[in-house]
Amino acid sequence: MRYVIGVDGGQTSTTAVVADERGRLRGVGYGGPANHIHEPGGVARIQQSLADAIAGARASAGLPDAPLACACLGMTGTSPHLEEVCRLAVPAERMVLGHDSLIALYSVTFGGPGVVVIGGTGSVGFGRDSRGRTAKVGGWGYLMGDEGSGYWIALQALSAVTRAADGRAPRTGIARCLLEQLSLSSLAELHRLLYAGSLSRPDIASLSQSVSRAAEEGDRIARRILRDAGRELGRLAVGVFRALKLRRETVEVGMAGGVFRAGAWVVAPFTQTVLRHAPQAQILSPRIPAAAAACLLALEEIGIAVNEAVIAQVRDSLPHIGTIKE
């Protein structure tokens, strides 16, 4: 029996899943962030995150020493040196390195044509047509883009609460939700934390949860921020449609990432934005976790066709390894 491993390396955490050659998922493991290779300590952080996630998945599968025929890594960000860095931390005979948007697309279409938008710590849109052509829109990072992402939502929220505190804008319940989430007593404390560098980018992005909470409690400003995020994410999908000339085709469009968990406040404007440009689009959530989808690419790499039987094995075995955190 041959085994493969799929890895979803994100800005917040890294997830690895082991599968056998029939597509049955055997174990899952987790590591830290796997992004920003050029930051101080970035190389060591990525390698440690990969090593922890892969070792955890192998241990969970009861296969700590079993050879891995192939590993497929879906990593956020790009770098000419990323493959070399990852190769040193991945104990597999073969390795396929791709972007996290590719495995996100597989989580929706199982390798077929389609479009996916990731709204996580960052944001990006990616698609592939029936001829195999691909297009990526967004993915410029937190300084040059990431509109609609958790980080972007958090920045809009921080701006809203400081403007309100100054009397430059209406009051908003987001402030209370932010302070409660961080167990702080004042915006001044939050200000000190932010400018001391005590909160990482994933930490800041997680503040988008407070916006969702405030929106559920009826806060109009929170709802506006989330609606704006949905529209921005929808524009990423529209950009992919335009690049691949898919407007008149029936195409599956996947919504991946934690931002979409805000529910209708994000999903409704996202859907409206996409359908206004591409009325035939079918909007849906991922069918399997991205790390499990990466296993499909690894299986393809070792010559195993990803057919209905393999897909059924993946889906049927998901409950046996527990909920995969994303």
For residue 301, tell me if it sits in a domain: yes
Average pLDDT on 259-276 reads: 96
Average per-residue pLDDT in the chain?
91
pLDDT tops 90 at residue 229: yes
**Maximal C-alpha separation, the chain:** 66
Average pLDDT on 246-272 reads: 93
pTM for the full model? 0.88
Whether residues 116 and 13 share a domain: the answer is: no
Whether residues 44 and 11 share a domain: the answer is: yes
Q: How confident is the model at residue 149 (pLDDT cuts 50, 70, 90)?
A: very high
pLDDT at residue number 42: 67
pLDDT at residue number 78: 62
pLDDT in tens, 3-50: 999 999 877 789 999 999 999 999 999 998 776 655 666 677 888 888
Share of the chain above pLDDT 70, in %: 96
For residue 126, give the 3-state DSSP assignment. Answer: strand
pLDDT at residue number 26: 94
Rounded-to-integer distance, Cα 89 and Cα 257, Å: 26
Average pLDDT on 251-259 reads: 95
Q: Domain tally for the chain?
A: 2
> The domain spanning residue 275 has which CATH number?
3.30.420.40
pLDDT at residue number 250: 87
By CB neighbour count within 10 A (0-12 exposed, 13-18 middle, 19+ buried), where does 49 fall? buried
pLDDT in tens, 27-39: 999 998 776 655 6
Rounded-to-integer distance, Cα 226 and Cα 131, Å: 35
Whether residues 67 and 116 share a domain: the answer is: no
* Distance between start and end Cα atoms, the chain: 28
pLDDT tops 80 at residue 255: yes
Q: Which residues contact 260 (CB under 8 A, 6 or more apart)?
A: 119, 233, 266, 267, 270, 285
Structure tokens at 106: 């597989």
Rounded-to-integer distance, Cα 19 and Cα 63, Å: 11
For the chain, helix, strand, coil in percent to 5 are 50, 20, 35
pLDDT at residue number 33: 78
Residue 18, strand partner residues: 5, 27
pLDDT tops 70 at residue 77: no
Whether residues 243 and 169 share a domain: the answer is: yes
Among the listed residues 291, 287, 301, 277, the one whose alpha carbon sits nearest the alpha carbon of residue 326: 291
Whether residues 252 and 164 share a domain: the answer is: yes
What is the domain range of residue 213?
A: 111-286
Whether residues 176 and 41 share a domain: the answer is: no
For residue 208, tell me if it sits in a domain: yes
